[in-house]
């Protein structure tokens, strides 16, 4: 009985436990269901939000607007270039595209294109499995999705963009038929080397219409699209060939071709023709550096001013039928090109030629071998020897047919930009010398960021200092050696290129002599932030926060500046201080003739007109007299010129930025791979600038620079002290007449120049015993002339020569005994006394040309009775000249 009761109790307990488990499982299940629904609801909400943020399909167009030729015109309205045929895109309809090319693209890009409704679910599942189980990365975008990505959405890889892309694909498949979508895609797909669409690619690679492509050529194009660089038939033909074989196999599997057709395609070798066509394309590159620059500007403006994406802008420019009116002056450009091609204007000792030699050897058995070599030679005489050596190395025989292409890129290179400062219009430019290796290649005039050297002193230091009222042209700046402590870094000690330090130097002379220490002291007064603000207003866009260093006015920059932006900055000075954004084109019309963009440049005042006049006046001295650009007058005259030279300390960059009343121009000279130009005479850039500008200004009426001197007056001061001049300053030739702000004119007379009595025998300060007839007055500057005369140390003997011989015979003196006691000590030499205080005469503002203040002038006057020497000025010891890695001395 007890056993039965126990069994029943155990059974009840077991049932209770089971009920508890079931209840718990039900609760867990319900929680999971609720969570799943919550997660689903949240996901659905996010998904719907993304869908709602997608572009409205009603306002979208899948077709690329590229079936119209665009034209470029010069300043006179004459056509100078076209953007269409074979350049970027040539639109063709589907019936012009071979069926085997269509099927090749479908087989490798979207094999179920004709079956799905815009999204390939099977493809998505396959891609997930492949990506999870292998090291390969596989996508599942359909042709419709790729078309949307290329022409409507951005190419960024985000979940939001992918969901919007899939949603739009479903919507577009409802309103477009498959053939039209495929046509749009075949005219949109990127196929490498700047081509978009099968027609442009067919011209670029095979030099034939797309309708003429064979099956073998078609699979070559189809193989490019997934990775245009990796599968380029020009640079990586082996990779492309492997991809082409895969496509042929897929076409067999999908029933598009027969095995016989595949074998015929495999037997064909399209790559030989591709190399030959590529050589022809490189040789016939039609775009000038100016047109390249216009294209880059227009692409940027279409995106910024017309809210286009990068792809939309490119599609529109290279096929939208636009008309671009440029500032290009063909006469000026011809002058620039002529002189840039003149090798005699470039340093002979630095001459090198970079050779790019490409050869196709056609063997008697019908095979073709392709070779390429790049090498530097010192002269044109070495070119034939180089070619012969390479042909031997590559196994060329007399029976071979040789197709060759030789590109010559001379070094050092150069760039030149010229613009009209009154309008901001760039009239001509050159992005380099020698062969141009293709379209939209590196443009040294607009893209090369190089060190500007001392040309930066004007815009970073002296321009701001004069505009802020810190300096005047005639202000005296300390030119003694300078050492600046920089926490955590070595002290910075700028060096003057000529090795001269000490005393003071006027702003004007500091500019024409390109002296470094005054420029660094000036930026100390201006401040880095103020200098940077001025530089930004001068239009420089390549500066970095790391450029806020004491070498900034010397051109010591992290990256550098472009010749175009340096030209625009100096053009602002030439234009009375008003900056005008440099423009390469004036307007763009759409294919219907309506104005799409009116390119009105931005303009603003950087410095006052009077500051601009002061800078211009001082920079005229750079190219005259003893200025660092004085040699320019050998090649350019007939118009006023103002400008500044720039040479980096290692002589890797030579620059000159200057202007006339008509034009502003900048020249840069240097190696593409920076290296010293020590073999040059440092004047070649001035020679090139002078020759070009001389021809451009030929026949132009002579004009003077406009002068606005508001806030400045002319005054005469001591060029050494900057104070009012005395007669001693005039006697020393140290009086200069220059422009000053009234508050910069001292009301004190010069305390630097003094007058000292000098013994002409010892060339030392006259002592009390120097005879009057050997004492003269000399004007001294700053430091004492030296010690007191050590020749005349005792008073002269009495004049007794005529008496002594009458009383004592000469023989008596010969027998005189030696003295028994030592001679008395000489009397102590009296300390020189200061001359009476000098009372300066009334100030006379008489213009006197500045001469070297270190010249000592002798003034003859009747010698006064002997008295202790004159003024002795305390000598000034120079400070230590520490070296600095930051220093960039200029010429």
What is the 3 state secondary structure string of 649-664? Answer: CCCCCEEEEEECCCCE
| Helix 99-109 vs helix 178-186: crossing angle, to nearest 10 | 90
pLDDT mean over 608-618: 98
Per-residue pLDDT tens for 348-370?
888 888 899 999 999 998 888 99
75: pLDDT strictly greater than 50 = yes
Structure-block tokens of residue 675:
């290296």
Closest CA to 643 of 624, 667, 623: 623
Between 141-155, 408-422, 666-680, 868-882, the lowest mean confidence (pLDDT) is in 868-882
Per-residue pLDDT tens for 434-488?
888 778 889 999 999 999 999 999 999 999 999 999 999 999 999 999 999 999 8
451 with 648: CB under 8 angstroms? Answer: yes
725 with 715: CB under 8 angstroms? Answer: no
Per-residue pLDDT tens for 694-704?
999 999 999 99
Higher-confidence residue of 319 and 543: namely 543
Beta strand segments in 468-627, E: 476-478, 504-506, 578-580, 585-589, 595-598, 603-605
Query: In what order do the strands lie in the sheet containing 401-411?
Result: 368-377, 352-362, 401-411
pLDDT mean over 771-800: 82
pLDDT mean over 53-72: 67
759 with 775: CB under 8 angstroms? Answer: yes
Beta strand segments in 465-580, E: 476-478, 504-506, 578-580
pLDDT at 131: 59
pLDDT mean over 749-766: 90
CA distance 737 to 654: 32
Q: What are the beta bridge partners of residue 103?
A: none
pLDDT at 287: 87
Beta strand segments in 186-317, E: none
230 with 192: CB under 8 angstroms? Answer: no
Higher-confidence residue of 466 and 381: namely 466
pLDDT at 48: 53
130: pLDDT strictly greater than 80 = no
402 with 359: CB under 8 angstroms? Answer: yes
Between 44-58, 619-633, 736-750, the lowest mean confidence (pLDDT) is in 44-58
Q: Give Cβ neighbours of residue 168 (< 8 Å, ≥ 6 apart).
A: 54, 55, 57, 60, 148, 152, 153
804: pLDDT strictly greater than 60 = no
Residue 739 CA: distances (Å) to CA of 323, 454, 489, 507, 641: 50, 23, 39, 10, 19
CA distance 584 to 327: 5
Per-residue pLDDT tens for 37-50?
656 655 555 545 55
CA distance 550 to 51: 55
670 with 654: CB under 8 angstroms? Answer: yes
Q: Give Cβ neighbours of residue 145 (< 8 Å, ≥ 6 apart).
A: 118, 119, 165, 166, 169
pLDDT at 820: 36
pLDDT band at 878 (very low <50, low <70, confident <90, very high): very low
Average pLDDT, the chain: 83
H or E stretch including 402?
Answer: strand 401-411
pLDDT at 810: 47
pLDDT at 579: 98
Highest mean pLDDT among 21-30, 88-97, 138-147: 88-97
pLDDT band at 516 (very low <50, low <70, confident <90, very high): very high
pLDDT mean over 380-384: 90
CA distance 168 to 179: 18
Q: What are the beta bridge partners of residue 870?
A: none
- Helix (DSSP H) and strand (DSSP E) numbers for the chain: 26, 23
Structure-block tokens of residue 685:
């850039």
Question: Cβ–Cβ contacts within 10 Å for residue 849, how many?
Answer: 9
pLDDT at 561: 97
pLDDT band at 566 (very low <50, low <70, confident <90, very high): very high
pLDDT band at 67 (very low <50, low <70, confident <90, very high): low
What is the residue whose two structure tokens read 């669409």?
Answer: 197
- Proportion of the chain above pLDDT 70, given as a percent: 79
Q: Alpha-carbon torsion 519, 525, 529, 533, what sign?
A: negative
pLDDT mean over 772-788: 82
CA distance 249 to 268: 16
pLDDT at 38: 59
pLDDT mean over 265-277: 92
pLDDT at 841: 40
What is the residue whose two structure tokens read 């500066």?
Answer: 543
User: Per this entry, what is the length of the chain?
Assistant: 891
Structure-block tokens of residue 343:
């090798």
pLDDT mean over 782-787: 71
Structure-block tokens of residue 120:
């390939």
CA distance 386 to 407: 13
pLDDT at 137: 55
Between 39-48, 73-82, 770-779, 817-826, the lowest mean confidence (pLDDT) is in 817-826
Rounded to 5, what percent of the chain is helix, strand, coil? 40, 15, 45
Can you tell me whether residue 22 is helix, strand or coil? helix
The domains of the chain are located at 86-284, 356-411
pLDDT band at 828 (very low <50, low <70, confident <90, very high): very low
Can you tell me whether residue 611 is helix, strand or coil? helix
Q: Integer distance in angstroms from the first to the last C-alpha of the chain?
A: 121
825: pLDDT strictly greater than 60 = no
Structure-block tokens of residue 485:
């402590």
Beta strand segments in 469-513, E: 476-478, 504-506
The DSSP output letter for 843 is P
- For the CA atoms of 248, 252, 256, 262, what is the dihedral angle to 10 degrees? 50
Options 3.40.50.1100, 1.10.3810.10, 3.20.20.140, 3.40.50.720; which CATH number does 86-284 get?
1.10.3810.10
């Amino acid at each position: 009985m007890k056993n039965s009761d126990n069994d029943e109790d155990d059974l009840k307990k077991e049932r209770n436990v089971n009920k508890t488990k079931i209840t718990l499982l039900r609760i867990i299940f319900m929680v999971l269901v609720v969570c799943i629904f919550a997660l689903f609801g949240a996901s659905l909400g996010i998904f719907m939000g993304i869908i709602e943020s997608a572009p409205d399909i009603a306002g979208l167009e899948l077709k690329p607007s590229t079936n119209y030729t665009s034209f470029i015109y010069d300043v006179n309205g004459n056509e100078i270039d076209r953007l269409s045929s074979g350049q970027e895109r040539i639109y063709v309809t589907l019936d012009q595209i071979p069926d085997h090319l269509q099927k090749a693209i479908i087989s490798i890009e979207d094999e179920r294109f004709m079956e799905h409704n815009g999204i390939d679910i099977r493809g998505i599942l396959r891609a997930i499995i492949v990506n999870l189980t292998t090291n390969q990365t596989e996508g599942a975008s359909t042709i419709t999705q790729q078309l949307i990505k290329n022409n409507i959405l951005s190419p960024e890889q985000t979940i939001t963009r992918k969901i919007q892309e899939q949603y739009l694909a479903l919507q577009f498949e409802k309103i477009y038929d498959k053939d039209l979508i495929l046509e749009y895609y075949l005219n949109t797909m990127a196929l490498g080397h700047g081509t978009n669409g099968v027609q442009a690619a067919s011209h670029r690679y095979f030099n034939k219409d797309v309708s003429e492509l064979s099956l073998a050529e078609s699979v070559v194009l189809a193989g490019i699209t997934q990775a245009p660089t990796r599968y380029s038939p020009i640079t990586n033909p082996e990779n492309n060939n492997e991809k082409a074989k895969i496509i042929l196999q897929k076409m067999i599997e999908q029933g598009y071709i027969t095995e016989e057709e595949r074998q015929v395609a495999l037997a064909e070798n399209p790559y030989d023709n591709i190399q030959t066509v590529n050589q022809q394309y490189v040789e016939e590159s039609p775009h000038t550096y100016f047109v390249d620059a216009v294209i880059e500007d227009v692409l940027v403006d279409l995106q910024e001013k017309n809210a286009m994406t990068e792809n939309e802008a490119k599609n529109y420019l290279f096929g939208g039928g636009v008309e671009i009116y440029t500032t290009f002056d063909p006469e000026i450009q011809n002058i620039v090109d002529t002189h840039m091609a003149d090798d005699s204007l470039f340093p002979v000792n630095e001459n090198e030629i970079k050779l790019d030699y490409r050869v196709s050897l056609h063997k008697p058995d019908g095979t073709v071998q392709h070779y390429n070599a790049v090498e530097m030679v010192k002269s044109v005489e070495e070119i034939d020897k180089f070619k012969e050596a390479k042909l031997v190395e590559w196994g060329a025989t007399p029976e071979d047919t040789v197709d060759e292409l030789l590109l010559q890129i001379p070094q050092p290179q150069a760039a030149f930009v010229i613009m009209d400062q009154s309008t901001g219009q760039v009239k001509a430019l050159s992005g380099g010398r020698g062969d141009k290796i293709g379209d939209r290649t590196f443009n040294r005039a607009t893209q090369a960021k190089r060190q500007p050297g001392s040309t930066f002193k004007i815009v970073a230091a002296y321009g701001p200092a004069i505009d802020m009222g810190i300096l005047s042209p005639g202000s005296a700046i300390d030119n003694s050696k300078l050492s600046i402590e920089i926490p955590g870094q070595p002290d910075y000690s700028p060096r003057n290129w000529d090795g001269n330090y000490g005393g003071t130097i006027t702003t004007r002379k500091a500019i024409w002599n390109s002296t470094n220490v005054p420029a660094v002291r000036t930026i100390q007064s201006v401040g880095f932030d103020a200098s940077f603000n001025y530089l930004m207003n001068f239009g420089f866009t390549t500066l970095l926060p790391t450029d806020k260093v004491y070498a900034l006015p010397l051109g010591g920059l992290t990256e550098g500046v472009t010749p175009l932006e340096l030209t625009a900055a100096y053009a602002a000075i030439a234009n009375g201080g008003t900056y005008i954004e440099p423009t390469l084109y004036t307007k763009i019309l759409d294919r219907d003739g309506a104005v799409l963009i009116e390119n009105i440049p931005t303009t603003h005042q950087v410095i006052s007109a009077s500051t601009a006049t002061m800078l211009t006046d001082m920079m005229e001295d750079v190219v005259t007299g003893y200025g660092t650009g004085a040699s320019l007058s050998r090649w350019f005259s007939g118009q006023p010129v103002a400008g500044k030279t720039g040479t980096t300390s290692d002589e890797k960059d030579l620059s000159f930025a200057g202007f006339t009343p008509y034009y502003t121009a900048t020249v840069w000279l240097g190696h593409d791979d920076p290296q010293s130009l020590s073999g040059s005479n440092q004047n070649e850039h001035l020679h090139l600038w002078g020759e070009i500008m001389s021809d451009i200004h030929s026949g132009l009426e002579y004009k003077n620079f406009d002068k606005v001197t508001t806030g400045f007056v002319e005054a005469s001061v001591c060029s050494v002290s900057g104070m009012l001049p005395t007669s001693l300053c005039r006697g020393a030739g140290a009086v200069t007449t220059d422009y000053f702000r009234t508050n910069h004119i001292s009301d004190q007379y010069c305390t630097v120049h003094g007058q000292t009595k000098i013994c002409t025998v010892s060339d030392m300060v006259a002592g009390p015993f120097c005879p009057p007839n050997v004492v003269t007055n000399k004007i001294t500057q700053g430091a004492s002339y030296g010690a007191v005369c050590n020749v005349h140390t005792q008073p002269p003997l009495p004049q007794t020569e005529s008496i002594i011989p009458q009383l004592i015979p000469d023989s008596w003196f010969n027998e005189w005994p030696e003295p028994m006691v030592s001679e008395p000590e000489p009397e102590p030499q009296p300390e020189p006394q200061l001359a009476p205080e000098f009372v300066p005469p009334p100030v006379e503002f008489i213009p006197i040309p500045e001469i070297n203040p270190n010249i000592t002038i002798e003034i003859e006057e009747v010698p006064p009775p002997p008295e202790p020497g004159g003024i002795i000025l305390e000598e000034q010891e120079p400070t230590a000249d520490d070296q600095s890695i930051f220093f960039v001395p200029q010429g």
